[in-house]
Amino acid sequence: MQLSHRITHLTGGGSDGWDVFYRARRMKAEGVPVTELTIGEHDIGTHASILAAMNASAKGGHTGYAMVPGVASLRETVAKRIEEQTGVPTTADNVMITPGGQAALFAAHAATCNAGDTALYLDPYYATYPGTIRGVGAVAKAVQTHAEDAFQPRAADIDAAAEGAVSLLINSPNNPTGVVYSRQTLDGIAEVCKARDLWLISDEVYDTQVWEGEHISPRALPGMAERTLVVGSMSKSHAMTGSRCGWIVGPTEVITHLINLATHTTYGVPGFIQDAADFALNAGDELEAEVAAPFRRRRLLAKDILAGQNTISLVPAQGAMYLMLDVRATGMSGEDFANALLDAHHIAVMPGESFGQAAAGHIRVAMTIADEEFAKALQTLCAFATERANTVAAQ
Ligand SMILES: Cc1ncc(COP(=O)(O)O)c(C=O)c1O
C-alpha cells in the first residue's frame, strides 16, 4: 500500500539543522545539565487568572462541541482587536478561531493554493513554513533576505520570484531574526502583492512583543485588506502555547470556506479554551505586558553583554523572544558553532541553518530562561566565540 507523496514529502528530508536540538535533549535525558536557549516556550506558565477562567468555563459546562468557527464572543473580541490595530472595519464574520497559529497557517494556504501552485515564503523562516505549504500540495519557494539588510525583505527580490506564484507568507515580528518589518518594507511588499495579484499571509503571532519600532499589520495598508490573511495566536502573547488557540482574519468569503475546511478537519477548538482566551484578551494590555516583560528585560541584558565584545554582532533585536547572532567571525558555520558550544559548555542554541540558507553563520538564542542564568550563558557564549575567533586569527 502506498503512502501519499504529500505526507512523505512534507519535510525536506535529510539533516535539517535540528540535530543540535535533539542532541541537547538526549544529553539532558542522560543527566547532563544543559542550558537550553532553543525553542520559543516561555519560562512562565499561563497566568493564574486565565486558568481560573478556563476552569470556571469547563465547570460551567462548556465542555461539549463548540461552534466550529469559534465562540461568538471570542470572534467578536478578536475582530475588535484587529480593527483597533488596523483601522479596517472587522467583524466576527472576518474571523475564524483555530487550534493555534499553526492551524491558521495551514488553513490560509489551503484557502489560497491549488495543488501544484507556487507559494512564496521568506528565508530565514519559522521551521514549519515550507512543510505547511507542501502539506496543502503547493510548491514552497523561498525568497532570500539578507544579513546586510538586517533581514528586512527586499520587494525587488519578492517581485523577481513572483512569476506564477499565488501567495506570499511573511512574519513580523520575525522568528527567527527578531526583526520587525519597517513601514517601507511592508509598503514595498504590499505593492508587489497588488502588482502580482498575490495573497499575503501575514503571521503576526509575536505582535505583542515589540521592543523597538512599531508593529504594522499589512491589513492596514491601502488595498490590502481584501488580499491579506492575518494569522494570530494566544501562544506567545499570553503564554498559552499548550492551549492551542489562534485565529485567521480575512475577507468573509475566505472565512466561509475555511469554516467548511474546519468542519472537515479540526471541528473547532474547545469552548473552555476559547472562553479563557476571551477572558485573557479582555484582561487588557497589562497582562500582555507582564507576559512580554521577561523578554524585554533579557534583550537589554543581552545588548549590554554583547556591547562588551567584538566577535559576535547582534541582528537588530526589535521584537519576539529571540536574538539572532552573527558568529561568522569565528570562521564557523552556525551549526558547527552550536555543536561546539554544546560540547564545550553544555549550552544549546539553534543554528541559523535550521531556518534556511539566509541565516547561515548565525545562531538563534531564545531568551527563555531566568535572567541570571541567561546572562551567564550569554557571557560564556561570547567568551567562547572570542576564543574561537582568536584561534582563527592566529592560524
Ligand atoms: C513565527 C511563528 N508562527 C507560528 C507559530 C505557531 O504558534 P502556535 O501554533 O503555537 O500558535 C510559531 C511558534 O513558535 C512561530 O514562531
Cell representation of residue 78: 478578536
Pocket of ligand 1 (CB under 6 A): 40, 100-102, 126, 171, 175, 203, 205, 233, 235, 241, 246
Q: Which amino acid is at 19?
A: D
Query: How far apart are alpha carbons 52 and 60 in whole angstroms?
Result: 12
Report CA(388)–ligand 1 centroid distance (Å): 34
Which of 122, 236, 238 most suits a substitution to test ligand 1, by most atoms within 8 Å of the C-beta? 236
Q: Residue 16: its pLDDT value, please?
A: 62
Residue nearest to atom 7 of ligand 1 (CA): 101
Q: Residue 290: its pLDDT value, please?
A: 96
Query: How far apart are alpha carbons 21 and 19 in whole angstroms?
Result: 5
- In the predicted model, residues of the chain with pLDDT beneath 50 are none
Whole-model pTM: value is 0.96
Tell me the torsion sign for CA atoms 361, 367, 369, 371.
positive
Report CA(242)–ligand 1 centroid distance (Å): 11
Say which residues have a Cβ less than 8 Å from residue 257's Cβ, sequence separation at least 6. 111
Q: Residue 40: its pLDDT value, please?
A: 85
Report CA(47)–ligand 1 centroid distance (Å): 19
**219: number of Cβ within 10 Å:** 25
Q: Within a 13 Å sphere around the CA of 305, how many CA atoms are in the beta-carbon half?
A: 21
Report CA(102)–ligand 1 centroid distance (Å): 6
Query: How far apart are alpha carbons 77 and 82 in whole angstroms?
Result: 9
Which of 46, 125, 126 most suits a substitution to test ligand 1, by most atoms within 8 Å of the C-beta? 126
Report CA(104)–ligand 1 centroid distance (Å): 10
Q: Residue 394: its pLDDT value, please?
A: 82
Which of 125, 233, 244, 248 most suits a substitution to test ligand 1, by most atoms within 8 Å of the C-beta? 233
> What number does the ligand 1 atom closest to the CA of 104 have?
9
Cell representation of residue 91: 467583524
Query: How far apart are alpha carbons 104 and 172 in whole angstroms?
Result: 16
Alpha helices in the chain (DSSP H): 5-8, 19-29, 48-59, 72-86, 100-112, 129-135, 155-161, 183-196, 252-263, 271-282, 285-307, 334-345, 371-394
Query: How far apart are alpha carbons 346 and 31 in whole angstroms?
Result: 11
Q: Which amino acid is at 86?
A: T
Report CA(70)–ligand 1 centroid distance (Å): 19
Q: Residue 111: its pLDDT value, please?
A: 98
Q: Residue 13: its pLDDT value, please?
A: 64
Which of 78, 122, 235, 364 most suits a substitution to test ligand 1, by most atoms within 8 Å of the C-beta? 235
Cell representation of residue 76: 467578536
Using the 8-state DSSP alphabet, how is residue 313 labeled? Answer: E
> What number does the ligand 1 atom closest to the CA of 99 have?
9
